[in-house]
Amino acid sequence: MSTTSSIQTIFRDHLFAGKSALITGGGTGIGLRCARELARLGAKVVLAGRTREKLEQAVAGISEQGGEAHAVVCNIREAEDIESGIAESIRLMGGLDLLVNNAGGQFPSPAEDIPRKGWNAVIDTNLTGTFFTTQEAFRQHMRSHGGAVVNIIADMWQGFPMMAHTGAARAGVDNLTKTLANEWGRHGIRINAVAPGIIETSGLERYDPMVRPFIEEAAKNNQTRRMGTEAEVAAAVTFLLSPAASYITGVTLRVDGGQSIFHPLCPPQGDGKMPVFEDTFDRVQDGSVP
Protein backbone atom coordinates (compact mmCIF):
# COMPACT_ATOMS: atom_id res chain seq x y z
CA MET A 1 0.00 0.00 0.00
CA SER A 2 1.32 3.46 -0.81
CA THR A 3 0.64 6.47 1.39
CA THR A 4 0.52 10.15 0.55
CA SER A 5 3.92 11.36 1.69
CA SER A 6 2.99 15.06 1.80
CA ILE A 7 0.79 14.47 4.85
CA GLN A 8 2.89 15.39 7.86
CA THR A 9 2.29 13.96 11.31
CA ILE A 10 4.58 13.26 14.21
CA PHE A 11 4.97 9.53 13.47
CA ARG A 12 7.30 7.73 11.10
CA ASP A 13 6.08 6.29 7.81
CA HIS A 14 5.05 2.59 7.78
CA LEU A 15 4.85 2.47 11.59
CA PHE A 16 1.76 0.25 11.38
CA ALA A 17 2.54 -1.59 8.13
CA GLY A 18 0.86 -5.01 8.15
CA LYS A 19 -1.45 -4.11 11.05
CA SER A 20 -5.25 -4.13 11.05
CA ALA A 21 -7.24 -1.57 13.05
CA LEU A 22 -10.91 -1.25 13.92
CA ILE A 23 -12.11 2.19 14.96
CA THR A 24 -15.67 2.41 16.29
CA GLY A 25 -17.30 5.74 15.52
CA GLY A 26 -14.60 6.02 12.84
CA GLY A 27 -16.78 7.90 10.35
CA THR A 28 -16.46 11.30 12.04
CA GLY A 29 -14.50 13.47 14.45
CA ILE A 30 -11.84 11.97 16.67
CA GLY A 31 -12.43 8.44 15.38
CA LEU A 32 -11.95 9.50 11.78
CA ARG A 33 -8.78 11.40 12.65
CA CYS A 34 -7.39 8.29 14.36
CA ALA A 35 -8.33 6.20 11.33
CA ARG A 36 -6.68 8.59 8.91
CA GLU A 37 -3.50 8.61 10.99
CA LEU A 38 -3.35 4.82 11.30
CA ALA A 39 -4.05 4.37 7.58
CA ARG A 40 -1.37 6.92 6.67
CA LEU A 41 1.07 4.91 8.77
CA GLY A 42 0.29 1.75 6.83
CA ALA A 43 -2.50 0.03 8.79
CA LYS A 44 -5.60 -1.38 7.14
CA VAL A 45 -8.56 0.24 8.86
CA VAL A 46 -12.23 -0.55 9.38
CA LEU A 47 -14.51 2.31 10.31
CA ALA A 48 -17.59 1.18 12.22
CA GLY A 49 -20.70 3.22 12.99
CA ARG A 50 -24.44 3.34 12.48
CA THR A 51 -24.63 5.66 9.45
CA ARG A 52 -23.48 4.11 6.17
CA GLU A 53 -23.19 7.42 4.26
CA LYS A 54 -20.83 8.95 6.84
CA LEU A 55 -18.67 5.81 6.85
CA GLU A 56 -18.49 5.62 3.07
CA GLN A 57 -17.55 9.26 2.74
CA ALA A 58 -14.79 8.75 5.31
CA VAL A 59 -13.54 5.60 3.56
CA ALA A 60 -13.39 7.49 0.25
CA GLY A 61 -11.29 10.25 1.87
CA ILE A 62 -8.80 7.73 3.26
CA SER A 63 -8.63 5.86 -0.05
CA GLU A 64 -7.94 9.12 -1.91
CA GLN A 65 -4.96 9.66 0.39
CA GLY A 66 -3.58 6.21 -0.43
CA GLY A 67 -4.83 4.25 2.59
CA GLU A 68 -6.81 1.01 2.80
CA ALA A 69 -10.14 1.52 4.55
CA HIS A 70 -13.46 -0.32 4.80
CA ALA A 71 -16.87 0.61 6.21
CA VAL A 72 -18.79 -1.68 8.53
CA VAL A 73 -22.25 -0.62 9.64
CA CYS A 74 -22.56 -1.58 13.29
CA ASN A 75 -24.53 -0.31 16.25
CA ILE A 76 -22.50 -1.11 19.35
CA ARG A 77 -25.72 -1.10 21.37
CA GLU A 78 -26.72 -4.34 19.58
CA ALA A 79 -25.01 -7.61 20.55
CA GLU A 80 -25.58 -9.18 17.13
CA ASP A 81 -24.12 -6.15 15.36
CA ILE A 82 -20.99 -6.36 17.48
CA GLU A 83 -20.50 -10.06 16.78
CA SER A 84 -21.03 -9.74 13.03
CA GLY A 85 -19.17 -6.41 12.84
CA ILE A 86 -16.03 -7.87 14.40
CA ALA A 87 -16.25 -10.95 12.16
CA GLU A 88 -16.66 -8.76 9.07
CA SER A 89 -13.74 -6.56 10.12
CA ILE A 90 -11.47 -9.59 10.51
CA ARG A 91 -12.61 -10.92 7.15
CA LEU A 92 -11.98 -7.59 5.38
CA MET A 93 -8.57 -6.94 6.93
CA GLY A 94 -7.33 -10.48 7.52
CA GLY A 95 -6.88 -9.81 11.24
CA LEU A 96 -7.53 -7.41 14.09
CA ASP A 97 -4.44 -6.09 15.86
CA LEU A 98 -5.64 -2.69 17.04
CA LEU A 99 -8.99 -1.57 18.44
CA VAL A 100 -10.05 2.00 19.19
CA ASN A 101 -13.27 2.10 21.21
CA ASN A 102 -14.24 5.63 20.25
CA ALA A 103 -17.98 5.39 19.50
CA GLY A 104 -19.93 7.29 22.10
CA GLY A 105 -22.04 10.24 23.01
CA GLN A 106 -24.48 11.75 25.46
CA PHE A 107 -26.77 14.71 25.94
CA PRO A 108 -26.62 17.47 28.54
CA SER A 109 -29.29 17.29 31.23
CA PRO A 110 -29.61 18.02 34.93
CA ALA A 111 -29.42 14.66 36.71
CA GLU A 112 -32.97 14.97 38.04
CA ASP A 113 -34.37 15.16 34.49
CA ILE A 114 -32.52 12.28 32.79
CA PRO A 115 -35.18 9.87 31.52
CA ARG A 116 -34.61 6.14 31.99
CA LYS A 117 -34.52 5.56 28.24
CA GLY A 118 -31.85 8.26 27.83
CA TRP A 119 -29.83 6.89 30.76
CA ASN A 120 -29.95 3.43 29.21
CA ALA A 121 -28.99 4.74 25.76
CA VAL A 122 -25.88 6.43 27.14
CA ILE A 123 -24.83 3.50 29.35
CA ASP A 124 -25.52 0.97 26.59
CA THR A 125 -23.37 2.91 24.17
CA ASN A 126 -20.46 4.13 26.23
CA LEU A 127 -20.03 1.38 28.81
CA THR A 128 -21.80 -1.77 27.66
CA GLY A 129 -21.03 -1.26 23.96
CA THR A 130 -17.36 -0.62 24.69
CA PHE A 131 -17.11 -3.70 26.90
CA PHE A 132 -18.77 -6.13 24.51
CA THR A 133 -16.89 -4.81 21.48
CA THR A 134 -13.64 -5.46 23.32
CA GLN A 135 -14.81 -8.87 24.54
CA GLU A 136 -15.75 -9.87 20.99
CA ALA A 137 -12.40 -8.66 19.61
CA PHE A 138 -10.73 -10.80 22.29
CA ARG A 139 -12.82 -13.89 21.59
CA GLN A 140 -12.58 -13.74 17.80
CA HIS A 141 -8.94 -12.71 17.40
CA MET A 142 -6.87 -11.06 20.11
CA ARG A 143 -6.94 -14.00 22.56
CA SER A 144 -4.75 -15.99 20.18
CA HIS A 145 -2.90 -13.14 18.40
CA GLY A 146 -2.45 -10.37 20.99
CA GLY A 147 -3.18 -6.75 20.23
CA ALA A 148 -3.56 -3.23 21.55
CA VAL A 149 -6.74 -1.43 22.57
CA VAL A 150 -7.42 2.24 23.32
CA ASN A 151 -10.68 3.32 24.93
CA ILE A 152 -11.79 6.93 24.51
CA ILE A 153 -13.39 8.25 27.68
CA ALA A 154 -13.80 11.83 29.00
CA ASP A 155 -12.79 14.27 31.72
CA MET A 156 -15.06 12.95 34.46
CA TRP A 157 -12.46 12.98 37.26
CA GLN A 158 -14.41 15.52 39.36
CA GLY A 159 -17.78 14.04 38.38
CA PHE A 160 -19.52 15.30 35.23
CA PRO A 161 -22.14 17.93 36.07
CA MET A 162 -24.99 18.00 33.52
CA MET A 163 -23.83 14.66 32.13
CA ALA A 164 -24.22 12.22 35.04
CA HIS A 165 -24.89 9.29 32.71
CA THR A 166 -21.73 9.65 30.69
CA GLY A 167 -19.65 10.42 33.78
CA ALA A 168 -20.72 7.10 35.27
CA ALA A 169 -20.19 5.23 32.01
CA ARG A 170 -16.73 6.67 31.33
CA ALA A 171 -15.58 6.06 34.91
CA GLY A 172 -16.68 2.47 34.33
CA VAL A 173 -14.55 2.26 31.20
CA ASP A 174 -11.57 3.74 33.05
CA ASN A 175 -11.90 0.89 35.55
CA LEU A 176 -12.48 -1.71 32.83
CA THR A 177 -9.27 -0.57 31.17
CA LYS A 178 -7.36 -1.61 34.28
CA THR A 179 -9.26 -4.88 34.79
CA LEU A 180 -8.80 -6.04 31.21
CA ALA A 181 -5.15 -4.97 31.19
CA ASN A 182 -4.64 -7.25 34.19
CA GLU A 183 -6.65 -10.17 32.83
CA TRP A 184 -5.43 -10.16 29.24
CA GLY A 185 -1.79 -9.13 29.50
CA ARG A 186 -0.94 -12.85 29.44
CA HIS A 187 -2.42 -12.99 25.93
CA GLY A 188 -0.12 -10.21 24.70
CA ILE A 189 -2.85 -7.57 24.84
CA ARG A 190 -2.27 -4.02 26.06
CA ILE A 191 -5.30 -1.89 26.97
CA ASN A 192 -5.13 1.82 27.69
CA ALA A 193 -7.48 4.79 27.58
CA VAL A 194 -7.40 8.41 26.49
CA ALA A 195 -9.51 10.98 28.34
CA PRO A 196 -10.02 14.06 26.17
CA GLY A 197 -11.01 17.43 27.60
CA ILE A 198 -13.13 19.58 25.28
CA ILE A 199 -12.20 18.93 21.68
CA GLU A 200 -13.44 20.89 18.65
CA THR A 201 -15.18 18.17 16.63
CA SER A 202 -18.31 17.52 14.59
CA GLY A 203 -19.67 15.87 17.74
CA LEU A 204 -20.09 19.23 19.49
CA GLU A 205 -22.28 20.43 16.61
CA ARG A 206 -24.82 17.76 17.52
CA TYR A 207 -25.69 19.54 20.75
CA ASP A 208 -28.38 22.22 20.99
CA PRO A 209 -26.76 25.55 19.89
CA MET A 210 -27.83 26.99 23.24
CA VAL A 211 -25.19 24.81 24.89
CA ARG A 212 -22.34 26.21 22.77
CA PRO A 213 -21.58 29.30 24.94
CA PHE A 214 -21.27 27.04 28.01
CA ILE A 215 -18.88 24.77 26.15
CA GLU A 216 -16.76 27.72 24.98
CA GLU A 217 -16.59 29.12 28.49
CA ALA A 218 -15.73 25.71 29.96
CA ALA A 219 -12.98 25.28 27.37
CA LYS A 220 -11.03 28.21 28.83
CA ASN A 221 -10.54 26.33 32.09
CA ASN A 222 -7.31 24.67 31.10
CA GLN A 223 -3.71 25.81 30.77
CA THR A 224 -3.92 26.21 26.98
CA ARG A 225 -7.10 28.35 27.29
CA ARG A 226 -8.58 26.70 24.19
CA MET A 227 -10.30 23.56 22.96
CA GLY A 228 -8.14 20.64 21.94
CA THR A 229 -7.82 19.48 18.35
CA GLU A 230 -8.67 16.10 16.87
CA ALA A 231 -5.00 15.79 15.93
CA GLU A 232 -3.93 16.21 19.56
CA VAL A 233 -6.18 13.33 20.62
CA ALA A 234 -5.27 11.13 17.65
CA ALA A 235 -1.56 11.59 18.40
CA ALA A 236 -2.08 10.24 21.93
CA VAL A 237 -4.13 7.29 20.66
CA THR A 238 -1.54 6.49 17.99
CA PHE A 239 1.27 6.60 20.53
CA LEU A 240 -0.57 4.20 22.87
CA LEU A 241 -1.21 1.77 20.01
CA SER A 242 2.38 1.93 18.82
CA PRO A 243 5.43 -0.12 19.86
CA ALA A 244 6.69 3.02 21.66
CA ALA A 245 4.07 2.20 24.32
CA SER A 246 5.02 -1.47 24.60
CA TYR A 247 5.62 -1.13 28.39
CA ILE A 248 2.39 0.77 29.02
CA THR A 249 -0.88 -0.95 29.89
CA GLY A 250 -3.84 -0.14 32.11
CA VAL A 251 -3.32 3.63 32.09
CA THR A 252 -5.57 6.51 31.12
CA LEU A 253 -3.78 9.38 29.41
CA ARG A 254 -5.53 12.73 29.92
CA VAL A 255 -5.47 14.91 26.82
CA ASP A 256 -7.15 17.94 28.30
CA GLY A 257 -4.65 20.80 28.52
CA GLY A 258 -4.70 20.39 32.28
CA GLN A 259 -8.48 20.86 32.62
CA SER A 260 -8.73 17.97 35.06
CA ILE A 261 -6.11 19.47 37.41
CA PHE A 262 -7.95 22.80 37.72
CA HIS A 263 -7.16 24.26 41.13
CA PRO A 264 -9.03 27.26 42.60
CA LEU A 265 -5.79 28.60 44.14
CA CYS A 266 -4.20 28.93 40.70
CA PRO A 267 -6.87 29.04 37.99
CA PRO A 268 -5.74 29.22 34.36
CA GLN A 269 -4.97 32.77 33.22
CA GLY A 270 -3.76 34.67 30.17
CA ASP A 271 -4.19 34.08 26.47
CA GLY A 272 -2.67 30.63 26.33
CA LYS A 273 0.96 30.31 25.33
CA MET A 274 1.06 26.65 24.36
CA PRO A 275 1.14 26.05 20.62
CA VAL A 276 -1.53 23.91 18.96
CA PHE A 277 -0.48 20.60 17.47
CA GLU A 278 -2.04 20.12 14.05
CA ASP A 279 -1.29 17.53 11.41
CA THR A 280 -1.77 18.42 7.75
CA PHE A 281 -4.59 16.04 6.78
CA ASP A 282 -7.13 18.83 6.27
CA ARG A 283 -4.71 21.14 4.50
CA VAL A 284 -3.70 18.39 2.06
CA GLN A 285 -7.37 17.58 1.47
CA ASP A 286 -8.39 21.20 0.81
CA GLY A 287 -5.33 21.74 -1.40
CA SER A 288 -3.63 24.42 0.72
CA VAL A 289 -0.50 22.24 0.93
CA PRO A 290 0.49 19.88 -1.91
Ligand X SMILES: NC(=O)C1=CN([C@@H]2O[C@H](COP(=O)(O)OP(=O)(O)OC[C@H]3O[C@@H](n4cnc5c(N)ncnc54)[C@H](OP(=O)(O)O)[C@@H]3O)[C@@H](O)[C@H]2O)C=CC1
Ligand Y SMILES: CCCCCCCCCCC/C=C/C(=O)SCCNC(=O)CCNC(=O)[C@H](O)C(C)(C)COP(=O)(O)OP(=O)(O)OC[C@H]1O[C@@H](n2cnc3c(N)ncnc32)[C@H](O)[C@@H]1OP(=O)(O)O
Q: How far is the CB of 197 from ligand X (least distance, A)?
A: 7
Decide which of ligand Y, ligand X, none touches 177; Cβ closer than 5 to 8 Å per partner kind: none
Q: What are the φ and ψ backbone dihedral angles of 159, each rounded to 5 degrees?
A: 80, 180
Could you tell me how far CA 287 lies from the centroid of its own chain? Answer: 26
Q: How far is the CB of 227 from ligand Y (least distance, A)?
A: 10
- Residue 119, Cβ density class (10 Å: 0-12 exposed, 13-18 middle, ≥19 buried): middle
Residues 6+ apart with CB under 8 A from 7: 40, 65, 279, 280, 281, 284
Q: Which is nearer to ligand Y, 30 or 180 (CB)?
A: 30
Length of the chain: 290
Asked whether position 150 contacts ligand X by CB under 6 A, the answer is: no
Alpha helices in 4-129, H assignment, sequence order = 29-40, 52-64, 79-93, 116-123
Binding residues for ligand X restricted to 200-259, rule: CB under 6 A: 201-204, 206
Going by C-alpha positions, the residue among 239, 232, 206, 1 that lies closest to residue 100 is 239
Q: Tell me which amino acid residue 208 is.
A: D
The string over 78-110, giving b where at least 16 C-beta atoms fall within 10 Å of a residue's C-beta and e elsewhere, is eeebbbebbebbbebbebbbbbbbbbbebbebe
Asked whether position 268 contacts ligand Y by CB under 6 A, the answer is: no
Among 3, 8, 84, 108, binds ligand Y (CB under 6 A): 108
Q: Which is nearer to ligand X, 175 or 182 (CB)?
A: 175
Q: Specify whether the CB–CB gap between 191 and 250 falls below 8 A.
A: yes
Binding residues for ligand X restricted to 50-69, rule: CB under 6 A: 50-51, 54
Binding residues for ligand X restricted to 79-108, rule: CB under 6 A: 102-105
Q: How far is the CB of 237 from ligand X (least distance, A)?
A: 10
Decide which of ligand X, ligand Y, none touches 239; Cβ closer than 5 to 8 Å per partner kind: none
Decide which of ligand Y, ligand X, none touches 122; Cβ closer than 5 to 8 Å per partner kind: ligand Y
Q: Which is nearer to ligand Y, 7 or 164 (CB)?
A: 164
Binding residues for ligand Y restricted to 168-207, rule: CB under 6 A: 198, 203-204, 206
Among 5, 53, 115, 264, binds ligand Y (CB under 6 A): 115
Asked whether position 211 contacts ligand Y by CB under 6 A, the answer is: yes
Going by C-alpha positions, the residue among 101, 178, 186 that lies closest to residue 144 is 186
Site size toward ligand X, by CB under 6 A = 31
Binding site for ligand X (CB under 6 A): 24-25, 27-31, 49-51, 54, 74-77, 102-105, 125, 129, 152, 154, 196, 198-199, 201-204, 206
